[in-house]
Structures are given as structure tokens and as C-alpha cells.
Chain A
Amino acid sequence: MTVRFAEKELKELIQEASQGEKYPLAKLISELERPNSFEFRKVLFKELENSGFNGSHSVTIGFTGTPGAGKSSLLGEISTKFLQTVPDKKMAVVAIDPSSHISGGSLLGDRTRLSLPVREKRIFFRSQPSQLELGGLNPYTYHVIRLLRCFFDFIFVETVGIGQNEIEVSKLADLSFLVMVPLGGDQIQFMKSGIMEVPDAFILNKCDEENLARASYHTLSTTLEFLRDIVPGGSIPPIFLTSVKTKKGIQELLDFVLKSKPHPKRSSETKIQIEKWIKTEYGNFGLSFSETLGNSPPKKYEEWENFFNSEIRKRLS
């Protein structure tokens, strides 16, 4: 597929998007969401770099948890608070909807639970169907996030899933949260699946009622104490108690987010994503070539993609 935008047009779209214009940004995202966006990505990310947008300052925050944990409503509260209290920063939300794709179509319902201000250039919301990856990330989510990082200070990625899928988001997030509900009965499940080791912080949402919230907090922190040994570094991640209803804990959560820094090594993220892509495209056979990734100097994503594509194809033919 050819690149749909002429060079001049692309420059304009980038400039407008950087000024908070929603429609140009939406168009760029749509291009990234198409299959075989390789050529476009090469041009786009090069142009972005030339224009001085590299996204290195931006923080990506993963929000994951079981359906019904109230992630969208919580994100809605955080956005409202963010816009009120951080006047010089911008944020974007990518909500990946787990709706099934049996007919091919999808119903993206996450906007329902968020009420966002209109014509506010400091916030941008985008839905994505999860397609075949139930609750997990889309093949193109990573690229959309790379783009958004260029224009926004904070990118929230909301995913739904139960079990291993939830780990996916943490691989490209600088900070990842696991959102749970008090005494949801999920805790034991999460322990089994090893999910407890992944998030940087926990959120017990829907803590509308003080006693229940406290009881759940103790259950969770005790559980985490047991895991201390296997947590790298041995420290226990923080637990936030929040309620959309009573606005409890929102400010604390936002402060924590605002304090976090981008991951120092974006190259390791590139490596993970490239491996994921190779695995999808060429399976374990392809993965055997990716060992070169480890000790070679860092490259841009598209350079790697190009490299492996031609290398693997050579061996295949």
C-alpha cells in the first residue's frame, strides 16, 4: 500500500496535530491502524523526528484489570482532575475495547463511561477494537502510542483482560496499574497467574465504603508481603484506594502519575515489540533470528523491522 499523504500534506497534518487539532491527529492514527503501514511509518516517524518530535519526555501509563473494575470511569475522573490541576500538560487516552469480533464488527463502548469536555485541545480520546487479541493490545497499538508520545505528555492505555493478556500493556508502559475492586475474589486468581508481579502499582477502585475498603487493602497488602521475595528488588508496589463516587484517592493517584518518569531505555521496549512482531509474523522459527537484537546497537523500530523482514525472508526462500 502506498503512503496516502503527500509530503507537504503530511507535514501540515503533523504541525496541526502538534497544536492540538483533533481531526489531523485522528487521520494520522487511522493510517497507523491499517495493515501494512510499514512505508507510512517510515515516512511518518522520520518526519516527526525531523520536526523535533521524538516523544522522549512522554510517560505511558497502562491501566488494566477485569471488566467491571471501573477503569473507564476512573480514567474519566483522572482526566477531569488532570485538566483542572495541570494546566500546562496534555494527555491522551487509548481505550482498547474487548468486544468480540464474531461478525467482524465491534461495539466500542468505553466512551460511554467517560464524560470529556468538548473542544479541549489538551485531551484526546481514541478507541480501538481489540480484534482477535481478547482484551490485549492490537498489533498497531504500539505505533499509535509512539505517535501520541510526540504530542502528549501522558498517554493512558486502557486494556481489559483476564490473565496473561494484561501483562502485554506493561511491556510498553512506563508505569502500569492493575485495577481491582474490593473483595472481588480476583486476588487469588491474580496470584495464581503471576500477574501480581507485573504492575508498578495497584488500584482498589470502587472503595465507596470505608470499612470494606480498609479490609480489602489489608488483604491485598498481606498477599503482596508473601510475594515480596519474588518481586525484583523486594519492594512492595503501592496500593491506591479510589472511588469515583466519593472522589476518594483521585488526587493521590494523579500526583503519583505526574511524578513518574519515562522509562530510561526505550530501546528495550523496541526490542520487546520487535520480538512480538516477529513471533506474530514468523512464529518461533522467526524468533531464532532475533537473538542478534540483544547485542547489536540500538536501531529505530522500522529499521529493525526492515532488517528482520529481509533476513528471515532470505532464509525462507
Chain B
Amino acid sequence: MEKKDHILYDKTGNPSKEPAWIFRTYAGHTNAKESNELFRKNLAKGQTGLSIAFDLPTQCGYSSDHAIAKPEIGKVGVPINTLEDFRILFDQIPIEEMNTSMTINGTSMWLLSLYVALAEERGEDVSKLQGTTQNDIIKEYLARGTYIFPPEHSIRIIVDMYEYCLKRIPKWNPSNICSYHLQEAGATPVQELAFALATGMAILDAVKERNCFTHEEFEQCVGRISFFVNAGIRFIEEMCKMRAFSDMWEEITVGIYQVKNEKYRRFRYGVQVNSLGLTEEQPENNAWRILIEALGVTLSRDARCRALQLPAWNEALSLPRPWDQQWSLRLQQVLAYETDLLEYPDLFEGSRVVESKVKDLVENANKEIQKIKEMGGAIKAIENGYMKAQLVKSQAERLAKINNDELIIVGKNKWKEGIPSPLTNDPDGGIFKVDPKSAEQTLKVLSDVKARRDAKKVAETLARLEEDAKNGKNLMFASVECAKALVTTGEWADTLRKIFGEYRPSTGVEGQKLNLESDKVSNVRSKVEKFQKATGARPKIVVGKPGLDGHSNGAEMIAVSAKHAGFDVIYSGIRLTPEEIVQSAVEENANVIGVSILSGSHVELAEQIFAELKHYKADIPVVFGGIIPQPDFEKLHSIGVKAIFTPKDYDLMDVMDRIIDIVSEKIPASV
């Protein structure tokens, strides 16, 4: 029979259809019980895999009863303290049949240990567990900020997990190289390719260096590396990026690591489409953006992802409601089951345009990889701040283009006038809010567990963990024992912090320039000059990023623009306490404190900051920026916050203009 080009054939030569990718929704909130209900509802709606969002304390290795954790419990994901929370979270969910993705990094080993302990407790065959722990370092150090340990120790933990999983849970992906957040932090497709692949090589080099695998086993490790990628709005380019990824991974696995088995060389990846381009203005437009971005990674067979999760149309406003997530899931289902998308061989094979574009991306990404290699590899390029500085630069360029209207964002800098969206008219304001009382349930479960567990066993297992960490033993075994002994997330992480230390990376903002010259800039600079003339000093701003939320892009951009405007800027990176931020501002006698918060804890943090200012009897004005819903404005103003900036205030010089006005109000009349 003649084979037709437009028909997809299976291995036996029969016409066939591609199976759909895995449909996931990145979900989890409030507490284990509520999240369990959400998971079960989502699965009933046709979702085919779980993607668990953990709250920030869990991600950063703090138990819910730690002071720094309190404002964050259950805010951006589910809080997990002990095995008991996992028992509740997976109640009535057959974990042996699930494909579970856990977005967790610094504490990935701990969460996997809890999962293993739960399976063993239920009497399941552990080797059947399937899923992924994200366990990435680039995105953590460069964009997301929930790292705990220095890079070399983080890599060791990853390699420990590869070793453990290979023998005990062969279908588990111990790590997942996540370039997703790099694009969120401003990465160009070339940077996303280069930084992700360089990280892949760093992990493989570390696995190789341990020298505990046969070549066949090493090939299996290569086969377990998966990637988590971002798909942006320039969807043709994004599709080409995915093809470039596959081509380059093939070159790397064959050329550098001599992987013979074709199966283990496949570039396996999941996708979440871009949230960066989603707008607070006219949020309904985001629905189309999400669809278009999904097309880039589904349209053609050779660039189709294995798993897909879509953000919700209202993510730029605040946390999405279950209905919003359902709407995103339905989009995937329409795409996969109603259209003919899965019936064709690759649509772009042989396209001269696509081939040439892919070639271009590959060449440029290889050049960048070469640069990183010359620095000594990905870990060195993280430690010396190179990668971070490159991202801050790309982000600054992107924002400058939006400000100059070189980059059109519909509803934001073009066609701004519109009829208000009826979607946000619901009494709940179209957004989801975590019940502040729900944390009590989490804390109660934790204190109950602490009261009834065997304290001696806890101490013993933690002592073993400490010993193994010192002696370079694989930490998975001790961690699983800790999980079974009902050790808490904070206790596990603290034990390792003691041995490995905590990491403070470079902020990437030093030496950055903003390519922005406009009337607005000169207007702000003239106000700065006026201030300087009147007071004899430049205005000084402390840019603070309190709490556990590590999304530092906003803070970095404000730091860079304030310098551009002529301020003296003090920015010390993420995860500072309100006490530390206020102390900096007091010692430096700053004229203003700018605080960036995206986790939804703005009210609690504002209260803490003002309490601390009161302690020092310091009257320094405070402004807030971040994802802050309109209904919270009044509360923040009543606490004392002078101005609030949200993603709507994308024009950096407008922001600086308002800040210099606030600062100038305090110029004494006598001078």
C-alpha cells in the first residue's frame, strides 16, 4: 500500500493517531486537606497527571511553625510538614497509578522521601512510582530564589537522587531542568537553550564524576533527565526553539556522553506556557495569549511536549479560582480531542524557514554554551554571577522596549481603552483568596504529630542524616528513614543547613544599565537634581524583597531604574526579613524604602515593616510593588504605605517619577 505523507503511521505501518500529552494543572493551596479535594476534583474533570504546587516555607525548608513561614502558609501552594500531611494530601488517590510532578527544588529530596515513605506504608511497589521532582539549580539561583544550599551541595543532592532512583524507582525523573523561569526572568530563546543545556551537562558531569555507574547505567541516567520549558508568545520562534533543543541534546548526548541507546537520548520535556506576558490590564486577552503559546509546543509533532500545563487567564491579578483552572484544562482538551492536531506527521519538516531559524538558534546557543564552558561550566557561571547578570540585562532591555513602544502589548501600551471585563465582575472580584484561618489546620496537624511521635527515633534519624551528610554518603536512605520517623521539613533542612551552609548569590544588578532615554527620564532626572541641590545629597532608596518569595525580577528592575534615574540604590537580594530591610534603611539614612512582594503576604509584611520603623523612631516613607489586588490598597494605605505599584505600572520611569515626588515631599522648607 502506498504511504501518504499526510498520514501518521505507527511502528507496524498502520495509520494512527498520536496519544495526547499529559494534561496537568499546577495546583495546591491552603492545606493538605483542601488540596486533596482539589486534586480529586481535577482528576475527575479529565486531568491526567498531578502537578503539585508547594507553599514557600515547604520550598525553602521551613516548617509552618517557623516565624518566617507564618505569613506564607498555604499561600502559593500546599504546606507539607511531615508524612502526616502527605497521608492527607494523597488520601484516596492511587499514587502507584499517578504521574506526579512536584515543583520543588531545595527540599526535593525530602519530598521524594516522603512520597517513598507513603508508598511503602501503603504497601505499594515503590519501583512503580512515576513522576518528577523538579530539583533544578539554575532556575533557583537565577530566577526563582527558593534555593537553600550552595550550588556544589545542591548538585550533590541531585546526584544522590539519581543514584537512588536508578536502582529503586527507575521511572522517576530525579531532576528536571527548568528553563521556564529563565524566560520569566527575561531570557531570550538563545539564553534559555544555552543555560538549560549547560545545566544538563553540569548534572551529567557530576553524575559521571561520582563514578558509581556502569556506562549502561549512566545512559539510563541520561535518559531520566527531563526539561521543563517555557513557551512564549512568539510561537513560531518558540517552536523552533523546541526543535533546536532536541537537535542540540542529540549532539550533546552522542558527542560528549556517547549514549548509544536512542531511547535515552530523547529530549523529553514538559511545558508551562508563559505567565510573563499575561497582563493585569484587559485580563481577558490572556485567554488568547495562552492558546497561542500552547500552539507553539503542540502544533508540530517534532516539537510537541510530553506534558502541558496552562496558566489561568487571571494569573496576573492574583491566585486563580478553581473555575479559572478548569477553563485552562478545557482549552487543552479542546485542542487535543476536538481538533485534528494529533493526526498528522510533523507539519514543518522540510520547511526552509523553520530549518534556517533552528540553525540560527543552535549556532548562537552553542556560542553561549562555549562561553559558559570557558568559565568552567554552569555552576561556575552561576557562582560568578554571569548568568544572573545576563538575565537582568535581557529583562531590562525587554522592559525598555515596552516603555518605548517598540514591543507592543495589546491592552497595555497599545489599544488601552476598552470595555471593562465582565469576567472580573463576580462578587469575589474574579480572584481566589486563601482563608487566613486555614493555616491553623496545618499548624494543628503539625503540633499533633510532634506531640505523638517518638522523639528518640526523630533524634536518631536526624543524627544519621547529619553523619551521612558529613561522610558523603547517599542522603536518600537517611531521608526516607527521617520521613518515616515523622521528622518535619524544617528539621530535615536545618540539619543539612548546619553541614552545607546557606547560599547568598549575586544579585546581578551591579553594573547594569537601562537603555532608556526619553522625556520622562530627563524629567525624573531633573527632579532628582533638584532634590540634590536642595539637600546636598542624592536620593537614596533601599529596595527590599522580604519573606520567602524569591521572584526578584520586579525588585531588580526597580533597582536598575532607580540608579538610571540618579538615585543611590541599596539592594541586597532576596529573602530578607523586614527587620533587616529596615535596619539597612536606617543605617544608610535612606529617603525611601521600596518593597517588592508577589506571594500575597503584603499586608502581614507591611505591618512588620512599620513596627520595625517605629522601633527605630524612623520616619522613612515606604512604597510597595507586586501582585497586590485593588481591594487590599486601602488596608496598606492605612498601615502607612505611601504608594502601591502593580504590574499595571509597567512604565519604570512613571514609577520613579512617583517615588521621587514622594521623596521630595520631605525636603525641609528651610533649605
Question: Which A residues are closer than 8 A to B by beta carbons?
Answer: 1-2, 4, 21-23, 26-27, 29-30, 33-37, 99-100, 102-109, 111-113, 115-116, 118-119, 124-127, 129, 245
Contact = CB atoms under 8 A, between A and B. Distances in A.
Interface string B388-429: 000000000000000000000000000000000000000000
A113 B504 contact: yes
10 contacts: A21-B616, A37-B536, A99-B510, A104-B538, A107-B510, A109-B509, A112-B571, A112-B572, A112-B573, A129-B538
Contacts of B671: 1-2, 4
A106 B563 contact: yes
B579 A108 contact: no
B668 interface: yes
B491 interface: no
Given A26-B588, A27-B589, A108-B568, A118 B579 contact: yes
Interface string B569-595: 111110001011001101111000000
B381 to A, nearest CB: 15
B504 A112 contact: yes
B506 interface: yes
B562 A33 contact: no
A127 B571 contact: no
Contacts of A35: 536
B587 A26 contact: yes
Can you list the 8 inter-chain pairs with the closest CB atoms, starting with the nearest? Answer: A34-B536, A26-B589, A105-B563, A104-B566, A118-B579, A111-B572, A30-B589, A105-B566
Nearest to A112: B572
Given A1-B671, A105-B564, A119 B583 contact: yes
A245 B383 CA distance: 14
B267 interface: no
A119 B510 contact: no
Q: Is the interface of B mostly helix, strand, loop or mixed?
A: loop
A37 B568 CA distance: 20
A118 B582 CA distance: 9
A81 to B, nearest CB: 16
Contact of A127 (B536, B570, B586): B570
A79 B485 CA distance: 39
B528 interface: yes
Contacts of B567: 105
Given A103-B566, A126-B587, 9 more contacts: A4-B668, A4-B671, A99-B510, A104-B538, A107-B560, A111-B572, A112-B507, A118-B583, A129-B538
A113 B383 CA distance: 13
A127 B617 CA distance: 21
Interface hub of B537, B571, B583 (most chain A Cβ within 10 A): B583
A2 B528 CA distance: 21
B663 interface: no
Contacts of B579: 118-119
Contacts of A127: 570, 588
A119 to B, nearest CB: 7
Contacts of B568: 105-106, 108, 129
B265 interface: no
Nearest to A108: B570
Contacts of B564: 103, 105
B472 interface: no
Nearest to B539: A105
Given A23-B617, A104-B525, A105-B565, A30 B572 contact: no
A113 B577 CA distance: 15
A144 to B, nearest CB: 12
Contacts of B509: 107, 109
Interface string B488-532: 000000000000010010110111110000000000010010000
B504 A115 contact: yes
B452 interface: no
B639 to A, nearest CB: 20
A33 B537 contact: yes
A109 B587 contact: no
Contacts of A129: 538, 568
Nearest to A67: B510
Contacts of B589: 23, 26-27, 29-30
B537 A23 contact: no
A107 B569 contact: yes
A125 B587 contact: yes
A107 B504 contact: no
Given A4-B668, A23-B618, A33-B537, A124 B569 contact: no
Nearest to B150: A245
A102 B671 CA distance: 27
A29 B540 CA distance: 14
Interface string B583-611: 11011110000000000000000000000
A118 B577 contact: yes
B512 to A, nearest CB: 8
Contacts of A21: 616
Interface hub of B562, B563, B616 (most chain A Cβ within 10 A): B563
Contact of A23 (B560, B572, B586, B668): B586
A180 to B, nearest CB: 18
A111 B572 CA distance: 6
A209 B124 CA distance: 46
Nearest to B567: A105
Contacts of A4: 668, 670-671
B559 interface: yes
Given A105-B568, A109-B571, A126-B588, A30 B537 contact: yes
Nearest to B521: A103
Nearest to B615: A119
Contacts of A22: 583, 586-587, 616
Interface hub of A4, A108, A116, A127 (most chain B Cβ within 10 A): A108
B537 A124 contact: no
Contacts of B525: 103-104
